[in-house]
Structures are given as C-alpha cells and as structure tokens.
Amino acid sequence: MVAEGGGRGSPGILISLDALIAQRADDPTALDEAPVALRRIGWIGRPIILVGKRVAGRDLPSEARDREAWVRASIGRGAYAVIPFEDPSEGRGDVEEAAIEHWRGLRDAQRGTWLLTDRPRQVDAARAAGLKVIVIGPANPQPRLRRPEYQARDLRDAVGHLLTVDVFAHPSTDHVAASNGG
C-alpha cells in the first residue's frame, strides 16, 4: 500500500508508530509531544508516513479505515499517512536478507529516506536497506554492526535533528548568490 503521494513527489519520512505511543499495556496513548512533533516534521515539506501493525504489544485493526481512525484518535489529526508494516526484526537475532528486503520494499514504496524509531533492533536491517535511522531513547548497550545516524534523547530531539539536517542540506539561495558574487 502506498501512502498518498508516497510513490512520487518528495522523499518521505517514516516514523514507527511505537515511537509516538506511550507503551502502557492497559491503555496505549500518544506521547504528549507527538502531535507537535508531527507538525514540526511537516515544516520540512516531505510526506510523513506512520508505519506499524502493532502498538504497545497490541495488533492494530486490520481494516485500513479502522486502523487510521485508531491512529488519528490516539495521535490527533495531521498531514500523515498510516501504513501497516510488520517489523521484520521482531523476534529475530541476526539481520537476515529477508528483513533487509522487507525494509527496502517499504522504503521504495513510500520513497522513504529517514526512519524514526524507538527500536534499536530495527537499525541494522533498515540501514542495510538504504534508510537513514534516528533511534529515540537510550543507546543500545549491545554493540551493533550499524549504528543509527543519530541517537536522540527523545522525540523532540529527533525532530530537532531532522529540522537541522534539512536546513543545512538546503542552503538559502541568498547565501549561495552571495558566495557566487551575486
């Protein structure tokens, strides 16, 4: 399934639903900063794609409309798509080619460039599939073959990093013209 605008246009930012939800088994709810974080990521002007089939150990509704309704009721309205995605690294130790292909398929279908996640186990396969990864939360104490591009303290830190990368990836035209003598 391709998010609206995911197959064409500007590259997307993939965000694991678990990274936006307080992991309480009794009543998973959005982190307080999740709606603001999504609005700020929207300043970058790229599609935002929330990915996941499970949140806080619970399966999301299988019907697309019901799943999107649950996510929007939990996180709030916003300019984002909701895509079901089974984490291929769940329950596995080593990075397998199948897991890499699974992430690559998501990356290609959604034109994803970044993945924001709170699951360090996703780093190896996602990076091997060509995604840049920001892990939210404490650093993984187990050494990894691949480290994330950025280890964020929390969701706000992850968003700040994305905004900074975006600003410095696209210098202002005034600065470029001045450096060219124009």
Cβ-contact 110, 3 below 8 angstroms: yes
Distance (Å, rounded) from C-alpha 116 to C-alpha 157?
11
Residue 29 has a pLDDT of: 84
Q: Where are the domains of the chain?
A: 12-179
Phi first, then psi, for residue 72 (nearest 5°) are -65, -35
Question: What pTM was estimated for this model as a whole?
Answer: 0.83
Residue 1 has a pLDDT of: 41
Residue 103 has a pLDDT of: 95
Domain covering 12-179: architecture = 3-Layer(aba) Sandwich (3.40)
Residue 105 has a pLDDT of: 96
Tens of pLDDT along the chain (182 residues) come to: 444 444 456 899 999 999 999 876 677 888 999 999 999 999 999 999 999 998 888 889 999 999 999 999 999 888 999 999 988 865 445 558 899 999 999 999 999 999 999 998 899 999 999 999 999 998 777 766 678 999 999 999 999 999 999 888 765 554 444 445 54
Among 87, 49, 86, smallest CA distance to 68 is for: 49
